[in-house]
C-alpha cells in the first residue's frame, strides 16, 4: 500500500518538480529523494499522504532551484529549460488542465525560485494559499504577495493573444519554409518588431551565445543558417552528408519542430506567437537536453 500510494501521486510530484526546475532529470531526482523519505517515514503519523508528498517534493525542488541558479552563472551561453516529452505531458495533464507549455517554462525561470514554487503550486495545481504558505515556509499574507508578483510578471512576459494549435502549426510551417528557402523578406514580415531569438547549445553545437534582438538581425541569422545543415551536423559530431529530417512535434502542448539525424534529436525549435506573428524563437540544441525528445522512425 505504501508503494501504491506513492505511485498514485508520482505524476503530480513530477509535474510540480519539473515546473519548478525546468529540468526533467532533476525533477526525477527530486521524486526519487521524495520516495526515499516516504519509504522511511512512520506512515501512521501521516494524516494526509498527498500533502506530505507534495510538501516534501516542493521543498526539495526549491532547494535544488536555489543551487541551480548559482550553477547557471557558469553555463555556456543562454539557458533554456529541458523540453518535456509528450508522454510526460500526458501524465501531467492528468493532474491539471494547464499544460506545461515551453514558453511558460521559460518565463517561470525568470522568477526567483520562491516565486516560481508559489506560482506553480497555486496557479498550475490550485493548492490553497494556506497550504502553499506551509509548504514554502512563509506566512499566508507573504505567500499571497509572492503569488501576485509572480502572476503579474508572467502576464507581462506572455503574449497578449495566443493562437490555437492549428494556427500555431500553420505559422510554424511558414516560418520553417522561409528560413530554409532563405526568404529574408518573408521571414522578416513574419516577425514582430520586438522579435528575439534565444538558443541553448550549452556550448556544444553552433549557436549564438547571446540572444538576438530585432526582426532584421533575427531574420538574417536564420536565413544564413537555413541552408547550412552541414555545419550544424558537423558541430553535433556527425558527417556533413548525414541524412536528416525536420518534422513537427510537440513540447508541453506547444507545436514545435525537431531536427533529427542518426536516430536522435539534434535541435528543437518552438515559437511564441502573438497576433499572427512570431515574437520569440526558442531553440534547444544542447544534446543533454534532447534525450527525451522522440524522433520519427
Cα–Cα distance measured from residue 115 to residue 87, given in angstroms and rounded to the nearest whole number = 27
Give the per-residue pLDDT at 87: 45
DSSP characters over 64-105: HHHHHHHHGGGSSS---PPPPPHHHHHHHHTT-SS---HHHH
Domain 2-157 is in which class? mainly alpha
Domain 165-289 is in which class? alpha beta
Q: Half-sphere exposure of 183 toward its Cβ, with a 13 Å CA cutoff?
A: 13
Helices and strands in the chain, H and E counts? 12, 6
CA 273 to chain centre: 16
Within 8 A by CB and 6+ apart from 36, the residues are none
Hey, what's the cell of 47?
A: 494524516
Within 8 A by CB and 6+ apart from 213, the residues are 194, 195, 196
Give the per-residue pLDDT at 224: 84
- Please state the pTM of the whole predicted model: 0.82
Give the per-residue pLDDT at 96: 41
Cβ density class 135-148: b for 16+ within 10 Å, e for less: bbebeeeebbebbe
Domain with CATH 3.10.450.50 in the chain: 165-289
Cα–Cα distance measured from residue 120 to residue 95, given in angstroms and rounded to the nearest whole number = 13
Give the per-residue pLDDT at 164: 79
Cα–Cα distance measured from residue 116 to residue 108, given in angstroms and rounded to the nearest whole number = 6
Domain with CATH 1.20.140.160 in the chain: 2-157
Q: Which helix (H) or strand (E) holds 113?
A: helix 113-119
**What is the residue-level pLDDT of the chain in tens, covering all 297 positions?**
688 999 999 999 999 999 999 888 899 999 999 999 999 998 888 889 999 999 999 999 999 998 887 777 778 899 999 887 554 444 444 444 345 677 788 888 899 999 999 999 998 888 999 999 999 999 999 999 999 999 999 988 876 667 778 888 899 889 988 888 889 999 999 999 999 999 999 988 888 899 999 999 999 998 888 777 787 888 888 898 888 888 888 777 778 888 898 889 999 999 989 888 999 999 999 999 998 888 877
Amino acid at each position: 500500500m505504501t508503494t501504491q500510494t506513492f505511485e498514485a501521486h508520482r505524476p503530480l510530484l513530477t509535474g510540480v518538480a519539473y515546473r519548478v526546475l525546468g529540468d526533467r532529470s532533476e525533477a526525477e531526482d527530486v521524486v526519487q529523494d521524495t520516495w526515499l523519505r516516504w519509504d522511511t517515514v512512520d506512515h501512521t503519523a501521516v494524516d494526509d499522504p498527498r500533502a506530505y508528498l507534495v510538501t516534501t517534493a516542493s521543498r526539495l525542488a526549491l532547494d535544488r532551484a536555489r543551487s541551480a541558479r548559482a550553477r547557471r552563472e557558469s553555463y555556456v551561453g543562454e539557458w533554456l529549460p529541458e523540453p518535456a516529452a509528450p508522454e510526460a505531458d500526458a501524465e501531467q495533464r492528468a493532474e491539471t488542465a494547464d499544460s506545461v507549455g515551453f514558453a511558460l517554462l521559460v518565463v517561470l525561470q525568470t522568477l526567483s525560485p520562491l516565486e516560481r514554487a508559489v506560482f506553480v503550486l497555486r496557479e498550475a495545481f490550485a493548492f490553497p494559499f494556506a497550504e502553499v504558505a506551509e509548504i514554502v515556509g512563509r506566512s499566508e499574507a507573504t505567500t499571497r504577495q509572492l503569488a501576485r508578483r509572480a502572476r503579474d510578471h508572467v502576464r507581462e512576459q506572455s503574449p497578449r493573444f495566443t493562437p490555437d494549435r492549428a494556427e500555431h502549426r500553420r505559422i510554424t510551417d511558414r516560418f520553417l519554409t522561409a528560413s530554409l528557402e532563405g526568404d529574408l523578406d518573408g521571414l522578416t514580415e513574419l516577425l514582430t518588431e520586438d522579435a528575439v531569438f534565444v538558443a541553448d547549445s550549452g556550448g556544444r553545437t553552433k549557436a549564438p551565445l547571446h540572444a538576438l534582438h530585432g526582426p532584421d538581425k533575427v531574420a538574417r541569422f536564420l536565413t544564413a543558417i537555413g541552408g547550412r545543415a552541414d555545419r550544424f551536423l558537423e558541430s553535433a559530431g556527425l558527417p556533413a552528408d548525414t541524412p536528416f529530417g525536420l518534422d513537427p512535434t510537440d513540447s508541453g502542448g506547444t507545436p514545435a519542430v525537431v531536427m533529427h539525424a542518426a536516430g536522435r534529436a539534434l535541435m528543437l525549435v518552438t515559437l511564441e506567437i502573438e497576433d499572427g506573428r512570431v515574437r520569440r524563437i526558442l531553440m534547444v540544441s544542447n544534446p543533454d537536453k534532447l534525450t527525451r525528445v522522440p524522433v520519427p522512425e
